[in-house]
Amino acid sequence: MLLDTASLYFRAFFGVPEIKAPDGTNVNAVRGLLEFIARLVNDYRPTHLVCCWDNDWRPQWRVDLLPTYKAHRVVTERPGETPDVEEVPDPLETQIPIILEVLRALGISVVGADHHEADDVIGTLATDAGMPVEIVTGDRDLFQLVDDEAQVRVLYTARGVSKHERVTGEVVRAKYDVEAHQYADFATLRGDASDGLPGVPGVGDKTAATLLGRFGDVPGILAAADDPDSDLAPGPRRKIKDAADYLAVAPTVVAVVRDLDLGPVDALLPRTPRDPEAVVELSGRWNLEGPLTRVVTALTGPEDS
């Protein structure tokens, strides 16, 4: 089980009522994330679990290719090696170190990669995992990783973790009329305002799906647009040719990296907390008694497992 951790703690922060620790710190995101983990572990009983982390939520190499990428989320630009500052509410920002401390005490693996997003960590760990994989996210971009043959699914949390949708290749086909491996190109063509992808002007879901159904992928569509003998109609041909510069770079921006060198990853889900004393101390310090008890119980699992 691979968690898009930021997706989950953002959802917890905005969806869970404000709850205070004894020192007055709001801990609703911490509590909500722990409740999500307890529920997911109880429901799916994964043997391995990784909290995938955004070491860089807006990698410069993606911005260099497409300057609009996530630009609307930036509050402070930091040219060079230092990542831009994402717009994060202060009461959430203060909870992120607590989340890391609690996960460390529990022994749940947290994995990030410099200059890359959690999506890229997920893509790398899901590829050739050698076991069924459940990806937990509210981000449709990760639909590109769905692979029925390899048993890679997405638990899509847009309507909440308790109401998540298990996305398979069949679900992607039914929703978008494309194959899961075509989803990144589908998003590239139609655009995605949430990621700052402008898309091809005049190309929506239906046209994008039709073009991919006929020509396979963005390079195939570009080749058809450049081939005077292809059966691409004049309207779509002109739209594709006008967007050629965008289409030359956007697929690389949208595609999840699948071959990061993450080094050794201890993804085995612990059956007992790594540091029980720290769990008890953090539980009291941050008003996490209920959620942490439920996570520890979920880790222990059924007595006959």
Identify the pLDDT of residue 81: 54
- Which stretches of the chain score pLDDT less than 50? 304-305
Identify the pLDDT of residue 75: 53
Identify the pLDDT of residue 71: 87
Identify the pLDDT of residue 221: 97
Q: Assign residue 255 a region: left if phi > 0, alpha if psi is -120 to 50, beta otherwise? A: beta
Dist CA 104 CA 100 (whole Å): 6
Place of tokens 């898009």: 4
Identify the pLDDT of residue 304: 46
> What phi and psi, each to the nearest 5 degrees, are found at residue 245?
-65, -45
Q: Where are the beta strands (DSSP E) in 72-202?
A: 74-76, 85-86, 109-111, 133-137, 152-156, 165-167
The pTM is what?
A: 0.92
3-state secondary structure 25-92: CECHHHHHHHHHHHHHHHHHCCCECEEECCCCCCCHHHHHHCCCCCHHHEEECCCCCCCCEECCCHHH
Identify the pLDDT of residue 80: 57
**pLDDT tens sequence across 185-214:** 999 999 998 899 999 999 999 999 999 999
